[in-house]
Amino acid sequence: MTIDSLSPQDALVAVMIAVSAADERVSDRELAWIFSIIDILPVFQGYDRDRVSNVIGLVHELFEDEDGIDALVGLVDQALPDHLHETAYALACDVSAADGKVEMTELRLLEILRYDLGVDRLTSAAIERGARARHQRLEPRESA
C-alpha cells in the first residue's frame, strides 16, 4: 500500500490499528473487534477486508519512525472528510476499550488524535464514556 492510496476507510482502519498497536502489542480481542467493526458499520460498506493487512503494515512502518505518530495522524486527517473525524475518534476509543484496559500509550495516542482531528472536549468525553459503557463486562475485572 502506498501513502497515495489511503482511502477514507483505510484511514479509519489505520486509526484502529494504531491504537491497538500503541502498547506494542495487538491483542486478539482488539483485532477481533476491529474486524467486527468493519463487518458491521455502514462506513465500511464495500470495504475489502484484505486491505487490513496492508494497513497494518503501513502503521507498523510508520511507527518505526520517530515522527511516525505525527505522520500517521497527518495521513488520516488528509484522507478523512471532516464529518468522519468524530467517527475516527470513536473507533479509536472502542478499540482501546476492547481488551478491558487502556494503557498510557493508548491514552496518549487518543489525546493526539482528539487534538489533531479537532474533536472538542465535550464530544470526546461523550465518545469515551460510550466506549467504556459498550465494553463493560458482567463481572468486574480483577486487578493484576
Q: What is the DSSP string of 70-108?
A: HHHHHHHHHHS-GGGHHHHHHHHHHHHHTTS---HHHHH
CATH topology of domain 3-134: TerB-like (1.10.3680)
Residue 24 confidence (pLDDT): 78
The gap from C-alpha 113 to its chain's centroid, in whole angstroms, comes to 9
Residue 143 confidence (pLDDT): 53
108-136: pLDDT as tens digits: 999 999 999 999 999 999 999 999 888 88
Euclidean distance between CA atoms 122 and 76, whole angstroms = 22
49-92: pLDDT as tens digits: 999 999 999 999 998 988 889 999 999 999 999 999 999 999 99
- pTM (predicted TM-score): 0.88
Residue 4 confidence (pLDDT): 53
* For the chain, domain boundaries: 3-134
Euclidean distance between CA atoms 36 and 91, whole angstroms = 12
CB of 51 closer than 8 Å to CB of 45:
no
CB of 64 closer than 8 Å to CB of 10:
no
